[in-house]
Structure 1
């Protein structure tokens, strides 16, 4: 009888531990900066068709440059959002942008910027300005 009780207890502890580990893995993949992670975005980001984006952060203020058309940007971080204005020296275009800071793999810092943008003369948001670090 003692062996059966011991075995049942060990099995229950094992399954509780497995469930806890699985829940933690799910949380790590879905974690967002508001969940206690940093909001540090400085560094080099790969933005697909937009090319390389290099950001420098000072507190909540962020400036950056990107490869496409001599692009530059400046903005601020509020909550899980990095937003501001962009401009391109080659084309003379400018407008607004908004990135959601996301952590899609285990890291204390954001790993993805999921963004949208528009032109100054056309406030219709365009999607697809997505970057990975």
Structure 2
């Protein structure tokens, strides 16, 4: 069972939600333990706060923090999206991608700064601003 030192950590709670045809029905909830008392457990879930009476708790335990995707996975996804929905006008600044779609959507009118821009960052940002100004737009940078 949980203890006060688990407050503030990610937990999973399996609770009893009913009985059907003589079998106990369970539901699991995952979130951050906000409060632990003698009568209830409160956790912050993605759907909002959930207060579970202790009498309904079948099992509860601390679990590891949620994993974040690797930087390489995020870059791969951004590049795949860029290939799947290309802007009508495209440019490159080293590995960075410059995209222009005459003002339609932020993504299609923004620089995608993945990889090396082949110059120091201040110079790269100046080049991005010039590229968009030449097209009558404002430089936007879509950081993954």
Band the TM-score falls in, shorter-chain normalisation: under 0.3
- TM-score by length of structure 1 reads 0.27
- Which structure has the greater CA radius of gyration? 2
- TM-score by length of structure 2 reads 0.26
More strand by share: 1
